[in-house]
Copies of this chain bind each other. A is one copy, B any other.
Amino acid sequence: MARQERAIRTRRAVIEGAAGVFAERGYAAATMAEILERAGVTKGALYFHFDSKEALARGVIDAQVDPARWAPRDLRLQEWVDVGMTLAHRIPRDVILLAGIRLSADMQGRARFGSAWPAWSGLIAKLVTEAKERGEALPHVNPEETAQCFVGAWIGTQTMSEVESGWKDLHQRISVLYNHVLPAIATPAALIRLDTAPDRGARVLAELDEETDRPFVSAGT
């Protein structure tokens, strides 16, 4: 294995190990010793990539917004739907996302290591801006406002789904959320072409999996 490839794998193992510990214990109770053990790498290898627990938390948060999880579509609004629906499908299965949720909800910690919210809202604002330029979104739409509104709505929907069903109904709830928000955003000609069905996320991920042969990071492994 080439040195660079090995470094990428080590970094990934460290991120996954740290995510597992953060997801279970939260930031404050997580120790470098447990993260080391979970990652199965040497202390030297871990510190080569991340020099502190804070840096690890930032690494886990940065790993959340992963463009390999959706694909370019004819409609930018469909890409926005795919971002949210694949995320909804992945959350109960993906330890990096579960860790990110716990870290982002840590009001003390986030002052030090931030949260994934700005990255998600920046991505959505970009997609909605492009949708406007291409005539998919209505002229009055303010992409920044829509992005902030949607990320806020997403966070609360995720919280409710966690409490009510342990995320089992998250894909249904996010589908309902898109159906409530898109009529205020999309032109009728775009609206009719959008696929917001509850199983959209699962289908997009299956399609990407076939293409890339890259399995998910499972919370169970």
Q: Are the C-beta atoms of A153 and B176 separated by less than 8 Å?
A: no
Chain A interface, number of residues (Cβ within 8 angstroms): 30
Q: Is A177 an interface residue (CB 8 A)?
A: yes
Q: Which residue of B lies closest to A162 (CB)?
A: B107
Q: Is A173 an interface residue when CB atoms closer than 8 A count as contact?
A: yes
Given contacts A180-B146, A181-B181, A184-B181, contact A155 B151 (CB under 8 A): no
- Cβ–Cβ contact A152 & B163, under 8 A: no
Is A86 at the interface (CB under 8 A from chain B)? no
In the complex, the count of this chain's copies comes to 2
* Cα(A151)–Cα(B107), bound, Å: 22
Say yes or no for A72: interface residue by CB 8 A criterion.
Answer: no
Known A156-B154, A158-B156: A185·B180 in contact at CB below 8 Å = yes
Binding site for B on A (CB under 8 A): 107, 110, 117, 145-146, 148-161, 163, 173, 176-177, 179-185
Beyond A149-B180, A152-B157, 9 additional contacts (C-beta under 8 Å) are A117-B160, A145-B176, A148-B176, A152-B156, A152-B160, A153-B153, A155-B160, A156-B158, A159-B159
